[in-house]
C-alpha cells in the first residue's frame, strides 16, 4: 500500500510583507468529507505498515499488562469522620472512588467500604470517558464531579446524593476541565466556572442545589481574551479564591464563606509581570508572589488587609518557591533547589528542608484533606523507586512509609542505574538530563536510547518511576529525560529563558543533549529516538528540521507544529491565552522569530528520521489539522524512504484513549515502532 497523498489547493498567507504558501490549509475544515477520508486513509496506511509488527506489539503489550498489579489502592486520606481513597483492580479499565467511616487508620480493616463513584459503571466499552474534579460537600452527603465523553475541555457537572446513590437533577454543561468547582460552607451551593466558544474559562457562577441552571447567579466575567479564571478553596475551607490570570500576571478575588454577604472582594489588582497566589492561615493571608522576586517570596497580611504586607520568607535566587500548604498549626512549602523538588517545614521563622536518601528524586505534598492535623502525607519517587506514600509527623519530624506502590512481576532495583548528567548548551549553559538503564546496557558499547523532553510553560519533567518502562530497559534501552529550558527544573529563569524570543534555546538545548549522549558513548545517531508530546511535539518537529541527523526515529505526539498560523487565529481554542508563551505574530518581531522555528514552515527537501505522528480528532489544545498538514507537507518534500505514519484517534482528544488498557496498547504500538527502527526486538 502506498502512503496517502493529500491533494494540494493553493493558499497564501500574507502578513508583514511576507508570503507563506499553505497548500494544505483545506484540512482545517473537518466538515469536508475529503478531510475525514484523508485521516482514515492515513489510519489504514498506519495499520498496513504496522501489521508486520503485530506480534512484537502483542509481546510488548502483554509485558506491560503483566506489570499491572492485581489491585492498586491509594493510602486512605482522612477527611472528617471518613477516610477517602481510590482503588483499581486489574480487570478494570477505570478506577473506583470510595470511603470508609473509621476512627483511625488502624480501624479501617474492619470498616465497610462505601462506593462513591465507580467509573467502570459510567463507561461504555471503547468510548471515551474522563472524570476530573471531584468535590465532597462539607457535610459529606453529596459528591460533585465533572465528566467528559468527547475528549474536549468542556465538562458536565453532576451531583450525586451519597445516601440514595441517585444523581440530582442539577446538571450543568460547559464547565472547564480543572480548577473550576467548589462548595460553599453550607454545602447548599456550588461555585463553578464555564468556558466560552474558544474553551476559555471566563465566567464565575453560583448555583444553589435544587434550582435550575437558568437561575444561577453570574458573579464575574473576564472579558479579556488573554486571561482565564481559576477557582480554588483555601485549605482552611473558609475562603474561595478566584484568580484571573495570564502566564505572566494575575488578579485575585476571594469570597469569605463565613461572611458571604460581603460578596466577591478583590485582593490584588493586576500588575504587569506580577503573579500572585493566596492562601489562608490562622488570622492572615499568605501571599506567594514573584513581585521583585523572580523565584518567588512568601508574604503575609491580616485578613482585613488593614496592615501592610510583610515578607515571611524572603526571596532567594537559589530557591524556587512553588506551593504553600497551611495546616492549623503548621506550614509547609514546596519548590525546587539544585534542580530537585523540595518540601520545607516553616518553623522558627525559617525553612527546614526534608531530607531523603537518593541523590535523584521527586517529592511533593500528597492529598491531605484534614486541616487540623499533625500528620501530612507526602509522595516520593525516583527513576528507580516506585511511588511511596510517607506519613510525616509535623511535630516529631519523623517519617513513616505507609505504602510502596506494588509492582507486578519481578523487580530488583539493584539491576538498574539512575544518573543525573549535564550537557553543555550552545551558549555555555549546563543542561541537566536524567538517565536510567539496566546495569548491563552499556556492556557492549553504545546502546539504543530514547530521549524524552517537553520544555514549555514552565512545566518540569522530574524523575518518576514507571513500571511500563521496564520492558524497554530490560531490552537494553537507555531512557533519558532532557530537562531543557522552557521548563522550570532549574528555577523560574529556566522557564523565562525558553519562551517568547528565547524559545530556540529549548530546541538547541535538546540537540546539545543528544550530541553529548553520542560523544560520551551512551548511544549513536542510528540508535537514538526522540519523543515528545504537545509542546514537546513542537520540539520534535523543530528538531527534525534543525538536528534530525542525530536521530533515527522521532515520535511527535499531538504535536503543535503550525505555530504561526495557529497563533494568528484567535478563533482557535486557547490561542489568545498562548501569546504570553509564544508571542503574538501580529507583531513582526514575533512573527519572524516564530517562523524561524515553526516546523510546518521549515519543512525542507532533505532526509528526515523515521516518524510516527499522533493526533486526536477532538483535540481542543492542538487541533488535528496541525499534524495532518505537517505530515502531508513532509510526504511531499522529504527525500528519504524512511517510514512516516500519522495515527488519528477519531474519538478522542489531546490525551488519547481514556481506557487504561487501550492506552497501554497505544504505548505498545509506539514502543514497537521505535524499537523496530532501533534494531531492538528481544530482551538483552
User: And the C-alpha cell for 452?
Assistant: 524524552
HEC readout, 6-66: CCCCCCEEEECCEEEECCCHHHHCCCCHHHHHHHHHHHHHHHHHHHHHHHHHHHHHHHHHH
Strand partners, 294: none
Respond yes or no: is residue 314 known to be catalytic: no
For 567, the grid coordinates are 497563533
Does an H or E element contain 620, and which? none
Q: Which three cell numbers stand for residue 570?
A: 484567535
Please count the other Cβ atoms lying within 10 Å of the Cβ belonging to residue 680.
20
Is 581 within 8 Å of 11 (Cβ atoms)?
no
Q: Cβ distance 584 to 226 under 8 Å?
A: no
Active site annotation includes 249: no
CA 404, 407, 411, 417 dihedral sign is negative
619 is catalytic: yes
Rounded CA gap, 271 and 18, in Å?
35
> Which phi and psi angles does 265 have, rounded to 5°?
-115, 140
Q: Are 544 and 611 in contact (CB under 8 A)?
A: yes
CA distance 449 to 468: 16
Rounded to an integer, what distance in angstroms lies between the CA atom of residue 143 and that of residue 118? 13
Q: Which residues are within 8 A (CB) of 674 and not within 5 positions of it... i.e. 6 or more apart?
A: 450, 529, 531, 553, 555, 612
Name the CA radius of gyration of the chain, rounded. Answer: 25
With H, G, I as helix, E, B as strand and everything else as coil, classify residue 262. Answer: helix
How many CA atoms does the CB half-sphere of 42 hold within 13 Å? 31
| Distance of alpha carbon 532 from alpha carbon 463, whole angstroms | 16
Report CA-CA distances (Å) from 172 to 151, 168, 176.
17, 11, 11
Task: Give the DSSP letter of residue 485.
Answer: B
Indicate the burial class of 83 (C-beta count within 10 angstroms; 0-12, 13-18, 19 or more): buried
Among candidate residues 619, 649, 658, 676, the one labeled active-site is 619
Angstrom CA distances, 115 to 123, 125, 138, 261, 388, stand at: 16, 21, 18, 36, 25
Give the separation between CA 187 and CA 170, rounded to whole angstroms.
14
What backbone torsions phi and psi does residue 638 show, to the nearest 5 degrees? -70, 150
561, 646 in Cβ contact below 8 A? no
Quick one: DSSP state of residue 497? Answer: T
> Please, are residues 255 and 277 in contact by the beta-carbon 8 Å criterion?
no
Cell 530497559: give the residue. 473
- Spatial distance between the Cα atoms of 519 and 513, rounded to a whole number of angstroms: 10
- β-pair partners for 148: 130
Q: In the structure grid, which three cell numbers stand for residue 310, read together?
A: 510583610
Distance of alpha carbon 551 from alpha carbon 559, whole angstroms: 18
Of 207, 438, 654, 677, which is the active-site residue?
654
Q: Out of 180, 534, 657, 671, pick the active-site residue.
A: 534
Catalytic residues: 534, 619, 654
Amino acid at each position: 500500500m502506498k502512503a496517502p497523498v493529500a491533494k494540494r489547493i493553493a493558499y497564501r498567507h500574507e502578513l508583514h510583507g511576507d508570503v507563506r504558501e499553505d497548500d494544505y490549509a483545506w484540512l482545517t475544515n473537518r466538515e469536508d468529507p475529503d478531510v475525514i477520508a484523508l485521516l482514515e486513509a492515513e489510519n489504514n496506511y498506519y495499520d498496513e505498515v504496522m501489521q508486520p509488527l503485530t506480534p512484537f506489539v502483542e509481546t510488548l503489550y502483554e509485558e506491560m499488562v503483566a506489570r499491572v498489579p492485581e489491585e492498586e489502592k491509594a493510602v486512605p486520606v482522612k477527611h472528617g469522620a471518613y477516610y477517602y481513597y481510590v482503588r483499581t483492580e486489574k480487570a478494570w479499565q477505570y478506577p473506583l472512588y470510595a470511603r470508609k467511616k473509621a476512627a483511625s487508620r488502624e480501624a479501617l480493616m474492619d470498616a465497610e467500604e462505601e462506593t462513591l463513584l465507580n467509573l467502570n459503571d459510567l463507561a461504555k466499552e471503547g468510548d471515551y470517558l474522563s472524570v476530573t474534579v471531584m468535590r465532597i460537600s462539607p457535610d459529606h452527603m453529596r459528591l460533585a464531579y465533572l465528566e467528559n465523553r468527547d475528549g474536549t475541555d468542556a465538562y458536565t457537572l453532576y451531583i450525586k446524593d451519597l445516601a440514595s446513590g441517585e444523581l440530582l437533577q442539577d446538571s450543568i454543561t460547559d464547565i472547564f476541565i480543572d480548577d473550576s468547582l467548589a462548595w460553599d460552607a453550607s454545602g447548599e451551593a456550588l461555585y463553578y466556572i464555564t468556558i466560552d466558544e474558544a474553551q476559555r474559562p471566563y465566567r464565575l457562577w453560583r448555583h444553589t442545589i435544587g434550582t435550575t441552571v437558568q437561575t444561577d447567579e453570574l458573579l464575574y466575567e473576564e472579558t479579556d481574551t488573554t486571561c482565564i479564571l481559576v477557582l480554588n478553596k483555601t485549605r482552611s475551607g473558609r475562603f474561595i479564591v478566584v484568580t484571573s490570570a495570564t502566564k505572566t500576571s494575575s488578579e485575585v478575588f476571594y469570597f469569605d464563606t463565613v461572611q458571604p454577604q460581603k460578596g466577591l472582594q478583590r485582593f490584588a489588582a493586576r500588575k504587569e509581570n506580577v503573579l500572585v497566589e493566596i492562601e489562608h492561615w490562622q488570622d492572615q493571608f499568605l501571599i506567594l508572589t514573584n513581585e521583585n522576586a523572580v523565584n518567588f517570596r512568601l508574604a503575609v497580611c491580616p485578613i482585613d488587609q488593614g496592615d501592610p504586607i510583610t515578607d515571611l520568607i524572603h526571596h532567594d535566587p537559589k530557591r524556587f518557591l512553588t506551593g504553600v500548604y497551611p495546616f492549623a498549626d503548621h506550614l509547609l512549602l514546596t519548590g525546587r533547589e539544585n534542580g530537585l523538588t523540595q518540601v520545607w517545614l516553616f518553623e522558627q521563622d525559617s525553612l527546614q528542608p526534608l531530607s531523603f536518601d537518593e541523590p535523584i528524586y521527586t517529592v511533593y505534598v500528597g492529598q491531605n484533606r484534614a486541616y487540623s492535623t499533625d500528620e501530612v502525607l507526602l509522595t516520593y519517587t525516583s527513576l528507580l523507586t516506585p511511588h511511596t506514600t510517607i506519613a510525616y509527623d509535623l511535630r516529631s519530624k519523623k517519617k513513616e512509609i505507609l505504602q510502596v506502590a506494588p509492582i507486578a512481576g519481578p523487580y530488583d532495583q539493584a539491576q538498574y542505574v539512575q544518573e543525573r548528567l549535564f550537557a553543555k548548551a550552545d551558549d555555555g549553559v549546563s543542561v541537566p538530563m536524567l538517565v536510567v538503564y539496566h546495569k548491563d546496557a552499556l556492556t557492549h558499547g553504545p546502546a539504543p536510547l530514547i530521549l524524552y523532553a517537553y520544555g514549555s510553560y514552565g512545566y518540569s519533567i522530574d524523575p518518576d518511576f514507571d513500571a511500563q518502562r521496564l520492558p524497554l530497559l530490560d531490552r537494553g534501552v537507555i531512557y533519558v529525560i532532557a530537562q531543557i529550558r522552557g521548563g522550570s527544573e532549574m528555577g523560574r529563569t529556566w522557564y523565562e529563558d525558553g519562551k517568547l524570543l528565547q524559545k530556540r534555546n529549548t530546541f538547541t538545548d535538546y540537540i546539545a543533549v543528544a550530541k553529548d549522549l553520542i560523544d560520551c558513548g551512551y548511544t549513536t545517531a542510528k540508535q537514538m529516538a526522540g519523543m515528545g508530546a504537545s509542546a514537546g511535539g513542537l520540539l520534535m518537529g523543530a528538531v527534525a528540521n534543525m538536528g534530525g541527523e542525530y536521530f533515527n526515529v522521532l515520535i511527535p505526539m499531538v504535536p503543535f507544529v503550525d505555530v504561526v498560523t495557529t497563533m494568528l487565529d484567535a478563533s482557535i481554542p486557547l490561542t489568545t491565552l498562548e501569546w504570553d508563551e509564544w508571542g503574538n505574530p501580529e507583531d513582526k518581531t514575533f512573527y519572524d522569530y516564530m517562523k524561524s522555528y515553526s516546523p510546518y514552515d521549515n519543512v525542507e527537501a532533505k532526509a528526515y528520521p523515521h516518524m510516527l505522528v499522533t493526533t486526536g480528532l477532538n483535540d481542543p489544545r492542538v487541533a488535528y489539522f496541525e499534524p495532518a498538514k505537517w505530515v502531508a507537507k513532509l510526504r511531499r518534500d522529504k527525500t528519504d524512504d524512511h517510514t512516516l505514519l500519522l495515527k488519528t484517534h477519531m474519538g478522542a482528544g489531546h490525551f488519547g484513549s481514556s481506557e487504561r488498557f487501550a492506552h497501554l496498547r497505544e504505548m505498545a504500538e509506539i514502543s514497537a515502532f521505535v524499537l523496530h527502527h532501533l534494531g531492538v526486538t528481544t530482551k538483552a
